[in-house]
Amino acid sequence: MRTVCIVGVGLSNWGEVWKESFRDLHTSAALKAIESAGVDHLDSLYVGCMSGGLFVGQEHLASLLTDYMGMRGLPATRVESACASGGMAIRSAFIEVASGISDIVMASGVEKMTDVDGDEATYALATAADQEFEVFHGATFPGLYAMMAHAHMAKYGTTRDMLSKVSVKNHNNGSMNPDAQYPFKVSMEQVAKSVMVADPLHILDCSPITDGAAAVIVCSEDVAKSLGKPYVKIIGSGIGTDTIQLAQREDITTIKAATLAANAAFKMSGKTIDDIDFCEVHDCFTIAEIIIAESIGKYAPGAAGPAILNGETTLEGSFPINTSGGLKSKGHPVGATGVAQVIEVYKQLTGQAEGERQLKSSPKIGMTQNMGGSGGSSVVHIMEVA
């Protein structure tokens, strides 16, 4: 298996982007990634998109997006695994380059979520849950994660302050990210007193609805070296799945798919969680960050909340989490999120994170964890400085 690298990255505008279409967002991110890498061609494209059909009425992305990139004829594949679609696109590109089939592959993700009203967006997102046994009975993702939060609180004593601290930390990081949808700080009191969505989760515990695209250039190390640009190596990649329905899981205070994905990535890389310097995780809700930090093995069950409250996961802490601002502050265009996580790790490892977000510890190994729905699928990547 060949060594696989990330050598160029690009983000479109993120947020409520009224003046750019679905195809415009993707083209913007894709062309920025190509320019960043300095490549003169691509061998193929994998694009992550959860639900273009429901959000903007657009499927058949392979044809549409290669056309608007000015690359008609380029082999292209749309990848879907709910909110893990972007991470799965990275995984697909990684496999193609590692196998030797291609030398230069783009992995991208895109979603245009604000062209529909709130009810339609809720419907589209709910397709990532169990339609017969959850959605039919009125369950939405805030409700599902609220149940996970209550279970975690009951079993481990997780508190309101622990949830709030996740939001405060991530908004602080996002306030220094020029690409963040919500680049402002919040206080513990503001989080706890914000509008209730699904007890115990308030609006400031929830990631937003976002328009946006992200793209990276995945290539062989020989190509990366020849380009003369900063690059990082993907040394581990893992995926895992679990039941889509919460009621069928053995324990809803952990996310088994994330554990399986992390363990597979650790095995491939020859690393352990103790070798990881920082991590981008899928904080679609504040409770998700707490549960994932435990599920990937960094903290024992019930120990992540106190660690977060004590500052261990801040920019200055022993294990920074979501230096980008995470889904909470940076935004969550579901098909693009997993790719954007990889972009943040690339920036941190190559010393290109903007402003005071750049970790002073000179990190050598970073990790991303992206997941679909309430944790029915998950993908993990481990990257190392070249």
The domain spanning residue 71 has which CATH number?
A: 3.40.47.10
Tell whether 58 is covered by a domain. Answer: yes
CB 359 within 8 A of CB 319: no
Q: Are residues 201 and 346 both part of a single domain?
A: yes
Tell whether 53 is covered by a domain. Answer: yes
Q: Are residues 363 and 265 both part of a single domain?
A: yes
pLDDT value of residue 54: 96
pLDDT tens per residue, range 179-204: 999 999 999 999 999 999 999 999 99
Last residue of a domain, one of 184, 199, 232: 232
Residues in the chain, total: 386
Q: Are residues 99 and 147 both part of a single domain?
A: no
pLDDT value of residue 305: 98
Per-residue pLDDT of the chain (386 residues; tens, 9 = 90+): 999 999 999 999 999 999 999 999 999 999 999 999 999 999 999 999 999 999 999 999 999 999 999 999 999 999 999 999 999 999 999 999 999 999 999 999 999 999 999 889 999 999 999 999 999 999 999 999 999 999 999 999 999 999 999 999 999 999 999 999 999 999 999 999 999 999 999 999 999 999 999 999 999 999 999 999 999 999 999 999 999 999 999 999 999 999 999 999 999 999 999 999 999 999 999 999 999 999 999 999 999 999 999 999 999 999 999 999 999 999 999 999 999 999 999 999 999 999 899 999 999 999 999 999 999 999 999 999 99
pLDDT value of residue 261: 98
Give, to the nearest 10 degrees, the angle between helix 141-156 and helix 286-295.
Answer: 60
CA distance 211 to 199: 27
Instruction: Name the amino acid, one letter, at 32.
Output: K
279 tagged catalytic: no
Q: Which residue has the tokens 């929830």?
A: 206
Last residue of a domain, one of 198, 232, 266: 232
CA distance 93 to 116: 31
Instruction: Name the amino acid, one letter, at 251.
Output: D
Q: Are residues 29 and 100 both part of a single domain?
A: yes
Tell whether 165 is covered by a domain. Answer: yes
Token pair for residue 113? 């979520």
CA distance 13 to 159: 35
Considering the candidates 83, 206, 219, 284, report the single residue annotated as catalytic.
83
Q: Domain containing 19: what range? A: 4-117+210-232
Tell whether 129 is covered by a domain. Answer: no
Q: Are residues 249 and 216 both part of a single domain?
A: no
Tell whether 248 is covered by a domain. Answer: yes
CA atoms within 13 A on the CB side of 338: 35
Tell whether 255 is covered by a domain. Answer: yes
Q: Are residues 97 and 185 both part of a single domain?
A: no
Tell whether 131 is covered by a domain. Answer: no
Considering the candidates 26, 152, 282, 332, report the single residue annotated as catalytic.
332
Tell whether 172 is covered by a domain. Answer: yes
Q: Are residues 300 and 375 both part of a single domain?
A: yes
Q: Are residues 226 and 356 both part of a single domain?
A: no
Q: Are residues 215 and 318 both part of a single domain?
A: no
- Residue 241 main-chain phi, psi, to 5 deg: -135, 160
Q: Are residues 297 and 320 both part of a single domain?
A: yes
pLDDT tens per residue, range 31-59: 999 999 999 999 999 999 999 999 999 99
Q: Are residues 86 and 198 both part of a single domain?
A: no
pLDDT value of residue 355: 86
Nearest to 386 by CA among 215, 230, 188, 153: 230
pLDDT value of residue 177: 97
26 tagged catalytic: no
pLDDT value of residue 118: 87
Q: Are residues 222 and 315 both part of a single domain?
A: no
Number of domains the chain is built from = 2
